[in-house]
Amino acid sequence: MGQCLELSAAVCRIGVYSCFRTLCCKGPPSPRTEYDVVCVGLTGSGKSSLLTQLCSESTDSIIPTTGADNIRKYWSRYYQGSQGVVFVLDSASSEDDLETARNELHSALQHPQLCTLPFLILANHQDKPAARSLQEIKKYFELEPLARGQRWILQPCSVENMDAVKEGFNQFINLLEEID
């Protein structure tokens, strides 16, 4: 996981169960399928912080990736072989950043390698005063008409509320298992 975060905080392939199992299982983990999932989101959305917390690693060594938005043009190189997508958005971001996030999510939802995959959309930074509600995000991102027939979850979260992140991943894993 640490290698993944060093490589790129903007795009990261994760084995969902390798992190999630650490947090949720009591006793020895049962053998389960691992899924190859791509995690994308704009700079500052909280990808590194959420994934680090989810994997019970220290957040002290996270290096801010501000300025890494030029990596977005390479996201599609990480899509091949993915079985699901985690899209992290900053629900308290500026209107301009929210518009950019909306465009990037729409692009991902329509990409040929991702259009049939389940999506977990984490509306991060819900602990901030400027955070938009799920209804506002759903409407602004036009999720209902855009993702018609597609399996997706919109989950509010923050690093202060990892239970919400776990709940989102539980639902996401259920969608991934439905495909298997």
pLDDT of 19 > 50? The answer is yes
- What is the reported pLDDT for 158? 93
For every residue of the chain, which 3-state class applies, written as one string?
Answer: CHHHHHHCCCEEEEEHHHHHHHHHCCCCCCCCCCCEEEEEECCCCCHHHHHHHHCCCCCCCCCCCCCHHHHHHHHHHHCCCCCEEEEEEECCCCHHHHHHHHHHHHHHHHCCCCCCCCEEEEEECCCCCCCCCHHHHHHHCCHHHHCCCCCEEEEECECCEHHHHHHHHHHHHHHHHHHC
pLDDT of 148 > 50? The answer is yes
- The pLDDT tens digits for 154-168 are 999 998 999 999 999
Q: How far apart are CA 39 and CA 24, in angstroms?
A: 20
- The pLDDT tens digits for 77-120 are 778 889 999 999 999 999 999 999 999 888 888 888 888 889 99
pTM of the predicted model, to two decimals? 0.78
- b vs e for 84-121, b when ≥16 Cβ sit within 10 Å of the residue's Cβ? bbbbbbbbbbeeebbebbbebbeebbeeeebeebbbbb
pLDDT of 28 > 70? The answer is no
State the average pLDDT for the chain: 79
Q: How far apart are CA 47 and CA 49, in angstroms?
A: 6
Structural domain boundaries in the chain: 2-24+33-179
pLDDT of 2 > 50? The answer is no
- What is the reported pLDDT for 127? 95
- What is the reported pLDDT for 4? 37
- The pLDDT tens digits for 47-67 are 888 888 888 777 777 666 555
Lowest mean pLDDT among 10-24, 37-51, 65-79, 107-121: 10-24
Considering only residues 178 and 14, tell me which one the structure prediction assigns the higher pLDDT: 178
Q: How far apart are CA 73 and CA 19, in angstroms?
A: 27
Instruction: Report domain 2-24+33-179's class.
Output: alpha beta
Q: What is the percent of the chain where pLDDT is above 70?
A: 72
Sheet hosting strand 119-124, strand order edge to edge: 11-15, 36-41, 84-90, 119-124, 152-156
- What is the reported pLDDT for 56? 77
Confidence class for position 12, pLDDT limits 50, 70, 90: very low
Q: What is the percent of the chain where pLDDT is above 90?
A: 34
